[in-house]
Structure 1
Amino acid sequence: MHLAPSIHLFFFLLFAIISLQVQAQDSEEICLSKPDDDRPISRVYHFLNTKFCQPAVWFDDFFADDRVTEDARAGTSVRWKNDFSYIEKDGFKYESKIDAKFNLPKVTKRLKLIIESEGEDSLFDLFPKNSDEVENNIGLRYDIYAKGYSSFNIKATFKPKIEARYRFTYPITLNTVSRITQKIYQQTELTGESTQFDIDHAINTHFLLRWTSFAEFERDHAEDTSIWNMGTGFILYQYISPTQAINYTISTTATDTPRSFIDNTLISLTYRQNVFYEWLYYEITPEYNWYREYQQSFEKEASIRFRLEIRFDNF
């Protein structure tokens, strides 16, 4: 399927405008924090606690990545996302989603009330998803442990679903950090686990490269079936100013059902800006998908999304 000429022209103009905005910005620096000594515990402390200094943590916070909001150190956060999308095959579409985490201090600071879009996490920011799969969900999260290299929490929702998540972060060098996230979950007749591995490398004070790979296994006891899904991808983050940033994404996913094959490849760009108020953001995301069913040829689909987001945080 070929894109209409008007869509090609729109994409070209969008990329041109964003490029001009980037070139017009002052070369304002963001800092690369360095610990006072070279001990591993000092490097970990600076990586995890200088939120607006280290590029990886700054970008995760600016793009509201779940590496910040899911970590046990995070406090109350609210995101109200309003997406206006144009999809080549389906036309215009509007979605409104709320993701929120509230501390319950009178009970314990470790316990949080959560409202989230099921399936909306860092994996699905990087890898393609079917928007029909995203559903709002309510539950509780208990942050059991958060110290040094690692954090561990348990989440239960009214879907019903229970999930345990462990995250381990280790700095390889001052500019390169590795991270592994392990999740195990049970949802009615479905048992699953996922393993996610990240490497972040700060190229300089304005660019961060992230490589993410995951493998996910699910067992459906009702139908006596199981499935493996896996994927790998890269995100290049670009700092423009304290209120502007871009990420460039390329990723691919595969499944083993009915046989092993690549089922989706994605390229996209997201321009994000904080405007007017510290809690108001907007995003523009053009993307292009190649997807297919087993033994079918790839189909192509272009889309563009405008997001208006209201965000409140109290970490």
Structure 2
Amino acid sequence: MAEDEVDYSSCHSQPDSAQILDTAFNYVNSRVCQPAIWFDNFFVDERIDEDANAGSVIRWRNDFSYVEGEGYQYKTRLKARFYLPKVTKRLKLVIESDDEDDLFGLFPNNSDDAENVFALRYDWLNSERTSLNFKLTAHPGAEARFRYTYPISEDLLLRATQKVYQKKKLTGESTELDLDYSISPEFLLRWSNFATYEDDIKGWELGSGLTLYQHISDQQALSYQLSTTGTNRPYHYISNTHMSVTYRQNILRPWFFYELIPEYNWSKDPDTEREGEFKATLRLEILFHNI
């Protein structure tokens, strides 16, 4: 079937937040249909959102969790991106946690609450398939990120991301590979992989995970996640295996969401035995696009 003959009527309609999409998103959208774009916008996937040139974003998440053996916990995170007035749309002011990472949802860590930091990000390149930006943080720190997107077929999409960063005295690099397969307008399967090297421990951290997205309605969706993470320092071992389900719904206002997230982690430190831990989270999120 020719590209101009593809029928997109069965794809999901876009929420208001889709206004943030630019040419690069439209290109992917026309090749892989709309499910991947819809899920990334509804779940606010940071890896995709960072490539958008247009629009400002405020995302405030509040997690109320019960952790097995530890009791109830509360965690809040704020992430925002604004244009600097009268400068250029390529330069943005970014507010995010200093431990912010695109893959935290699929590959959770055990770090304590981190402080919010200010950063300046400059989008050097953003074309249909490639993007390149640079970021300077106030801690201080610096990061360069390059991303290449290749539509293998109408149903299969490859995304490769390379990062190099400096955080105080720590230098590191991260390589990420994502493969999206659009099973149907209601289901999307994503295979995510990453490898990170940091010179303070002179070792690697590796991870691989699967996410299955399910569309219920334009206000409701589910994601099922399974992942494993390993390292080679001080020896080779699996540091965590993660399994979770996320139910997300938009209620009351276009900018208000809640999530229910039951999850189970089998984690291990270098000097301890492997332990299992159940966690249940109610997440309340306020999300503004193009304010």
Q: Given the two structures, how large is their TM-score scaled by the length of structure 1?
A: 0.82
1:189 aligns with 2:166: no
Match of 1:262 in 2: 238
C-alpha contact 2:68 2:278 (8 A) present in aligned 1: yes
Structure with the bigger percentage of helix: 1
**Cα displacement string for residues 101-146 of structure 1 (whole angstroms, at most 9, x for unaligned residues):** 0012411110110001233333111102114164321111111110
Separation of aligned partners in 2, 1:48 and 1:109: 22
Relative distance call for 1:134 and 1:200 in structure 2 (3 A) is farther
Asked if the contact 1:153/1:166 (under 8 Å) is kept, the reply is yes
Residue of structure 2 aligned with 1:154, choices 134, 141, 152 = 134
Are the aligned partners of 2:198 and 2:204 in contact in 1 as well (CA < 8 Å)?
Answer: yes
Query: What is the total number of aligned residue pairs between the two structures?
Result: 275
For the 8 Å contact 1:63–1:272, the answer to whether it is kept is: yes
Matched position secondary structure for 1:85 = strand
Structure 2's unaligned 5+ residue stretches are: 1-8, 15-22
Q: After the TM superposition, which of the residue ranges 44-53 and 96-105 deviates more from structure 2?
A: 44-53
Secondary structure at the residue paired with 2:47? helix
1:73 aligns with 2:18: no
Amino acid at match of 1:269: V
Tell me which of 203, 206, 226 is aligned to 1:250.
226
Give CA-to-partner distance per residue, 1:44-91, whole Å, 9 cap, x none.
774435699611111111111112321142431000111101101211
- RMSD of the alignment, in Å? 2.4
- How far did residue 292 of structure 1 move? 1.0
1:289 aligns with 2:265: yes
Could you say which residue in structure 1 is the equivalent of 2:11? 30
1:18-66 C-alpha deviation (Å, 9 max, x unpaired): xxxxxxxxxx953499xxxxxxxxx977443569961111111111111
1:115 paired with 2:98, answer no
Task: Please say if residues 32 and 155 of structure 2, whose CA atoms lie closer than 8 Å, have aligned partners that are also in contact.
Answer: no
Are residue 233 (structure 1) and residue 209 (structure 2) matched? yes
Which of 248, 251, 254 is the aligned partner of 1:275?
251
Secondary structure of the residue that 1:123 maps to in structure 2? coil
Aligned twin of 1:299:
275
Matches of 2:99 and 2:74, distance apart in 1: 18
Amino acid at match of 1:219: D
Aligned with 1:219 (options 190, 199, 202): 199
CA contact (8 A) 2:220 2:249 kept: yes
The letter of the residue matching 2:105 is: D
Q: Distance in 2 between matches of 1:131 and 1:52?
A: 36
Report the secondary structure of 1:303's partner residue.
Answer: strand
Bigger Cα Rg: 1
One-letter amino acid of the structure 1 residue matched with residue 53 of structure 2: R
Q: What is the alpha-carbon distance in structure 2 between the residues aligned to residue 265 and residue 83 of structure 1?
A: 21
Cα distance in 2, alignment partners of residues 293 and 133 from structure 1? 19
Partner SS, residue 90 of structure 2: strand
Residue 312 of structure 1 and its aligned partner are, at CA, apart by 0.3
Spell out, residue by residue over 1:165-222, the C-alpha distance to the aligned partner (whole angstroms, 9 max, x if none): 01100000001100001000011210000000000000001000000000000012xx
Q: Residues of 2 paired with 1:271 and 1:101: CA distance?
A: 26
- Cα distance in 1, alignment partners of residues 69 and 30 from structure 2: 44
Check conservation: 2:33, 2:155, Cα contact below 8 A: no
1:260 deviation in Å? Answer: 1.1
CA contact (8 A) 2:31 2:154 kept: no
| Alpha-carbon separation, structure 1, partners of 2:45 and 2:99 | 13
Give yes or no for contact 2:53–2:89 (8 Å, CA) kept in 1. Answer: no
TM-score where L is the length of structure 2: 0.89
Q: Which amino acid aligns with 1:160?
A: P
The match for 2:34 is 54
Question: CA contact under 8 A between 1:268 and 1:286: conserved in structure 2?
Answer: yes
Q: Deviations over 1:140-163 (max 9, x none)?
A: 111111012100100111111100
Report the alpha carbon displacement of residue 299 of structure 1 after superposing the two structures with TM. 0.3
